[in-house]
Every structure is written in C-alpha cells, then in structure tokens.
Amino acid sequence: MAIYDDLLTAEFVRGEKISWQFRWALYILVFILSTSIWLSLGRVSGFYGMLLSGSAICYNIILTPLIRKGKRYTWIGYISVSIDVIFLTLYNALDTYYNSTLVPVTTAALVLYPVFLFLAALRIDKTLIVYGTVLTVLAMNLLYFLAHPYFDPDVASKLVSADIRGEIYRTSYIILFGALMLMVPGTVKRLLKSQQGVFDESMKHYELARSDKLTGLANKLRIEEFLPIEIARAARNKTKIAIFYLDLNKFKPVNDNYGHEAGDMVLAEVGKRLQTIIREYDLAARVGGDEFVVVIINANTHADRELIRKRISDVFVKPFAINGGTAEIGSCIGLSVYPDDAKEAAALIDFADKDMLRCKVSR
C-alpha cells in the first residue's frame, strides 16, 4: 500500500496548493474591488472588505513556506475553509448593514460558497467537506435570519428568493452541493487504487523478467542492472565488491543418471541454499545451466572475501536429495573484486568466470 499512500498524499498536497493559488487570485481581486469601492464611492463596506481580504492575503503569505514544502498538513484545510466561509459571511454582513438588508438573498458573493466546498473536496478529505458544508449552512442562515426582520417589505415581496422558501432552497442547494463533493474523495481514491493495481502488475512483470523461474534467484538481466548501480555506490563510498562465479561439479551425472527433472531439483536446492548465506542487499543469480554468480557488497578485506568463499563452499557440503537417494555436488568458485580486478560490470564477471575456469583446470 506504500505507493497508494504516496499517491494519496501527493493528491492531497496538490489540492492544497490549488486552493492556495485560487485564494491568492480571489483575495487580491476582492482587495482591489474593495479598495476601489472605498476610494471612489466612499462606502465603508469597501474599507472593511479591504481589511478582510488583506487579512486573508496575510494568511496566504504565512502558508507559503508550508505549501512549498509539499507535505500534508491537515489543519491547513480546516483553517482555510473557516477563513474563507467566515470572511465571506462577514463581508456580506457588512454589506447588509451599510448598504442593503437584502444582500443575504441578492449578492453575487453567495456563489462563492460552493467554490469553497469544491476547494475543500480537492483535499480528498470527507470530514473537511462535511465541516465546510455545515459551517456554510450555519453562517448563511445566521446572516439571513439576522437580516430578515429588516427587509424592505415592498421590495422583498417582489423577490421570490427573499422569503423563507428561498432560504430553504439556498440551504438545500448548499447541502446537495456538499453531498456531491463527498463523491470526489471516493472517486480519486478509486483512481489511485487503479493506478496502484497497474503499478503492482507492472512490478510483478518486472520482477518475473529479472528472475530465474527454476531457482527463484536473479537472472542475467538483473545482474546487468544491479552491478553498475552498486559499482557507482562503491566508487562514491570507497568500498569494494566481491563477485563469486560458481560452476557445479558432478552435476552432469545427475542429469544423465536421474533425468533433467532431478537436475532441476538440485539447481532449485542450490538456489535456496545460496539465498541463506547472503544479506538482503547482496545478490545471488543463476546465469547459465549450472552456473551461478554471487555479488557481495562491502567485501572490503581479503578475510571478508575468504569467509564468503567458505560459506559458499559449505553450501555443497550437505548431499542433495534425489529420488529417494542423495548426490554429492561440489563447485568451482572464481572471484573478482571491484576495483582491484576491473571497474566495469561485464569485465568483473568475465574476470570471475576466467578465475573459475582456472580453478576447474587446476583440479
């Protein structure tokens, strides 16, 4: 689930960043409009709108270093939604007090409430969406019921939206929109899980393409990818890598006398035993019919390498079970060391292979 969690966090952070960017555009625009209303028309509501939007801009400035970190901060969403909804409602309240009591049912600012809920949905947090919806409904209705007694009867009677049914309609709209936004996190999570499924399937095929089916060890392709990476790391850290090249002795008689199925059993058992002597960051691979390569990281001293050679030899001390009987299988082991014998992957394996052949000839 690590890839899914990473994708989910990335989407959350992306949603927070989009909300932060939108808030910049919105509050700068509101600040400019409020300033023009205050300076050109002399309306005090413009002055208060300037203060509110300026405060929101300051909040956005405070958020900037946190947004740039690209980390998940759940509290930012709740504070941001609170500021957006409360500041918008306060501005409407000031507009109601200084300009018209009918602002709660006529102002175009009401359309911003759903926008704030949408921004909450981008954070992939259902609890935040519910919180934003409830806060919006409470704020919007509080303003309406505080202003309703002061509506101009002549004007209000001509507005369908001014009576209680209009407020019920607006409230229902906000609730339905919030319910619709609740679908966003689920949809995003389904898409991310689908991506995780594709990733897992790709990794499965990736691993299969780099594994030996019979032994479960790595294959040549995996060795070719693994060694250059480890060589580069060893070059940076000034450490050494040991490559052991193994060829089985007395393996051909097993195939000749017991059949290839028995030979496959021996190879599979060799693979299991080799895996028990290497660490998680080392690598064992089957590179040919009865040939194996073991790569040991941080094999810095001669004593380290000889100890590993003994452990590999000990793998073949115990006889191999074959069709109710046993077979004695040995090995010739060649060795190359990075950077003493070569500095490139192919050259290191070739050196170890030749060292193994010299071992065979000497026997």
- The reported pLDDT for the residue numbered 179 is 94
Q: Tell whether 137 and 281 lie within a shared domain.
A: no
> Residue 204 domain-assigned?
no
**Helix intervals (H) in 259-341:** 260-275, 302-314
- The reported pLDDT for the residue numbered 96 is 87
Q: Tell whether 184 and 240 lie within a shared domain.
A: no
Confidence of residue 208 (pLDDT cuts 50, 70, 90): low
> Residue 214 domain-assigned?
no
Selected catalytic residue, list 95, 212, 247, 290: 290
> Residue 213 domain-assigned?
no
Q: For residue range 121-165, list pLDDT tens digits in order.
A: 988 889 999 999 999 999 999 999 998 888 888 777 777 778 888
Provide the domain count of the chain.
2
Closest residue by Cα to residue 339 from 239, 211, 265, 192: 239
Q: Tell whether 28 and 172 lie within a shared domain.
A: yes
Q: Tell whether 226 and 184 lie within a shared domain.
A: no
What is the percent of the chain where pLDDT is above 90?
46
Other C-beta atoms within 10 Å of 272: how many? 12
Rounded Cα–Cα distance for residues 363 and 349 (Å): 21
Q: What is the mean pLDDT of the chain?
A: 88
Is residue 263 within 8 Å of 254, Cβ to Cβ? Answer: yes
Annotation marks residue 290 as catalytic: yes
- The reported pLDDT for the residue numbered 106 is 76
> Cis omega before residue 114 (within 30°)?
no
Q: Tell whether 235 and 147 lie within a shared domain.
A: no
Rounded Cα–Cα distance for residues 220 and 292 (Å): 10
Q: For residue range 254-310, list pLDDT tens digits in order.
A: 877 788 888 888 899 999 999 999 988 999 999 888 899 999 999 999 999 999 999
> Residue 353 domain-assigned?
yes
Q: Tell whether 141 and 246 lie within a shared domain.
A: no
Q: Tell whether 178 and 321 lie within a shared domain.
A: no
Q: Tell whether 181 and 254 lie within a shared domain.
A: no
Q: Tell whether 128 and 174 lie within a shared domain.
A: yes
Domain range holding 159?
2-192
Other C-beta atoms within 10 Å of 78: how many? 17
> Residue 310 domain-assigned?
yes
Q: Per DSSP, what are the bridge partners of residue 330?
A: 249
Confidence of residue 206 (pLDDT cuts 50, 70, 90): low
Q: For residue range 106-126, list pLDDT tens digits in order.
A: 776 678 899 999 999 988 889
Q: Tell whether 236 and 180 lie within a shared domain.
A: no
Rounded Cα–Cα distance for residues 269 and 148 (Å): 85
Whether 1 shows a pLDDT value over 70: the answer reads no
